[in-house]
Amino acid sequence: MGTRFAFVTVLSLGCLLGSCKTKSIEDSGISTTIDDSKELVAYVNPFIGTAPLTDPAFIGYTPPKDWRVWAGLTYPGSTLPNAMVQLSPITQYGSGAGYEYEDSEIIGFTHTNKGHWNLCHIPILPVSSDAEFPFKSSFDKNTEAASPAYYSVYLKDYKVGVRVTSSLRAGIHEYTFKQNAVPKILFDLGRANNSVDEWEILKTGKNTLEGFQRTGGDKVYFSVQLSEQILNLETVDPNESKGYALLTLDAKNPVVTLKIGLSFVSSANAENNLKQEIGNKNFETIQKEGISVWEKLLSKIEVTGGTERENELFYSSLYRSMQWPALRSDVNGDFTDEQGEIQNKGFRFYTNPSLWDTYRNKLVLLSLLSPDTAGDIIQSMIDRGTNSGFMPTFFHGDHAAPFIAQAYGKGIQNFDVKKAYELLLNNAYKEGGTRPFISEYIDKGFISDPDVKNPNTETKAKAGVSKTLEYALDDHSLAILARALQDVEHAEDLEKRSMNYKNVYDPKTHFMRGKLADGSFISPFDSEYPYYEYMYREANAWQLSFYVPHDMPGLVNLYENEKAFEQKLDSLFTLPWNPNHIARNVSGFMGQYCHGNQPDHEAPYAYYFIDKPYKSQEIIDKLLHNYYGVGSEGLALSGMDDAGEMSAWYVFAAAGLYPLSPAENKYLVSLPIFDQVKWNLGEKSLEISKKGTSRKLKNIVLNKLPVTTYFLSQEQLIAGGRLILDTK
pLDDT digits (tens, 9 = 90+) for 160-185: 999 999 999 999 999 999 998 999 99
Helix (H, G, I), strand (E, B) or coil at 248: strand
At 726 the three-state DSSP class reads strand
Whether pLDDT at 13 is above 50 = no
Q: 381-435, pLDDT tens digit by residue? A: 999 999 999 999 998 889 999 999 999 999 999 999 999 999 999 999 999 999 9
- Which band of pLDDT confidence, cut at 50, 70 and 90, is reported for residue 682? confident
Distance CA 627, CA 644 (A): 15
The residue count of the chain comes to 728
Query: 292-348, pLDDT tens digit by residue?
Result: 999 999 999 999 999 999 999 999 999 999 999 999 999 999 999 999 999 999 999
What pLDDT does residue 117 have? 85
Who contacts 580 (Cβ-Cβ below 8 Å, separation ≥6)?
A: 61
Q: For 493-613, where are the E strands, in sequence order?
A: 505-506, 511-512, 589-590, 593-594
β-pairing, 686-691 vs 721-727, is parallel
Please report which helix (H) or strand (E) contains residue 377, including its range.
Answer: helix 371-388
Q: How far apart are CA 326 and CA 329, in angstroms?
A: 10
Helix 362-369 / helix 308-321 crossing angle, nearest 10 deg: 90
- Print the SS3 string covering 646-689: HHHHHHHHHHCEECCCHHHCEEEECCCCCCEEEECCCCCCEEEE
Tell me how far apart the alpha carbons of residues 96 and 50 are, in angstroms, rounded to a whole number.
10
Helix 417-429 to helix 371-388 angle (10° resolution) is 50
Q: What pTM does this model have?
A: 0.94
**22 pLDDT above the threshold of 90:** no
* pLDDT score, position 642: 93
Percent of the chain scored above 90 by pLDDT? 91
User: Is the pLDDT confidence value at 583 over 60?
Assistant: yes
- Which residues are registered as beta bridge partners of 106? 137
CB 302, CB 314: distance < 8 Å = no
For position 48, what pLDDT does the model report? 97
How much is the average pLDDT of 501-520?
98
Work out the mean pLDDT of the chain and round it to a whole number: 93
- Radius of gyration, alpha carbons of the chain: 26
pLDDT mean over 495-523 = 98
Is residue 23 within 8 A of residue 31, CB to CB? The reply is: yes
Q: Which residues pair with 590 in a beta bridge?
A: 593
Cα–Cα distance between 563 and 154 in angstroms, integer? 60
The answer, yes or no, to whether the previous bond of 530 is cis (omega within 30 of 0) is no
| CA nearest neighbour of 70 among 433, 484, 588, 488 | 588
Tell me the sheet residues that pair with 255. 176
What's the pLDDT at 38?
A: 62
Answer yes or no: are the C-beta atoms of 511 and 437 closer than 8 Å: no
Give the three-state DSSP class for 433.
Answer: coil
- 13 backbone dihedrals φ, ψ, rounded to 5°: -60, -50
Closest CA to 148 of 10, 335, 37, 33: 10
**What's the DSSP call for residue 5?**
P
Torsion on CA atoms 619, 624, 629, 634, rounded to nearest 10? -70
User: What 3-state DSSP class applies to 439?
Assistant: helix
Q: CA-CA distance, 606 to 596, in Å (whole number)? A: 18
DSSP letter, residue 72: -
Rounded CA separation 187/182 (Å): 16
- 31 pLDDT above the threshold of 80: no
How many Cβ atoms from other residues are within 10 Å of residue 564's Cβ? 13
Q: Is 716 helix (H, G, I), strand (E, B) or coil?
A: helix
Averaged pLDDT for residues 349-365:
96
Q: What is the pLDDT of residue 585?
A: 86
Round to the nearest angstrom and report the end-to-end CA distance of the chain.
Answer: 28
Which residues, in sequence order, are CB contacts of 422 under 8 Å at separation 6+? none
**What is the mean predicted confidence (pLDDT) over 464-472?**
98
Q: What angle do CA 444, 450, 451 make, to 5 degrees?
A: 120
Task: Kindly list the distances between the CA atom of residue 608 and the CA atoms of 360, 655, 716, in Å, as whole numbers in the listed order.
Answer: 18, 17, 20
**Nearest to 194, CA basis, from 285, 265, 118:** 118
What pLDDT score does 135 carry?
97
pLDDT at 728: 85
629-641: pLDDT as tens digits: 999 999 999 999 9
DSSP annotation of 514: -
Q: What are phi and psi of 668, to 5 degrees?
A: -70, 130
Which residues have a Cβ under 8 Å from the Cβ of 53 and sit 6 or more positions away? 59, 69, 71, 587, 588, 630, 631, 636, 638
On the question of pLDDT at 4 being above 50, the answer is no
Cβ contacts of residue 446 below 8 Å, gap of 6+?
A: 440, 464, 468, 500, 503, 504, 515, 519
CB atoms within 10 A of CB 708: 8
**pLDDT tens, 641-666?**
999 999 999 999 999 999 999 999 99
- What is the predicted pLDDT for the residue at 2? 31
Q: State the Cα–Cα distance between residues 579 and 582, nearest whole angstrom.
A: 7
Which amino acid belongs to residue 119? L
Region 55-76: mean pLDDT is: 93
For residue 247, the surrounding DSSP H or E stretch is strand 244-250
How far from 529 is each of 158, 174, 595, CA to CA, in Å? 50, 51, 16
One DSSP character per residue, 567-586 reads: HHHHHHHHSPP-TT--BTTB
Per the omega criterion (within 30 degrees of 0), is the bond before 134 cis? yes
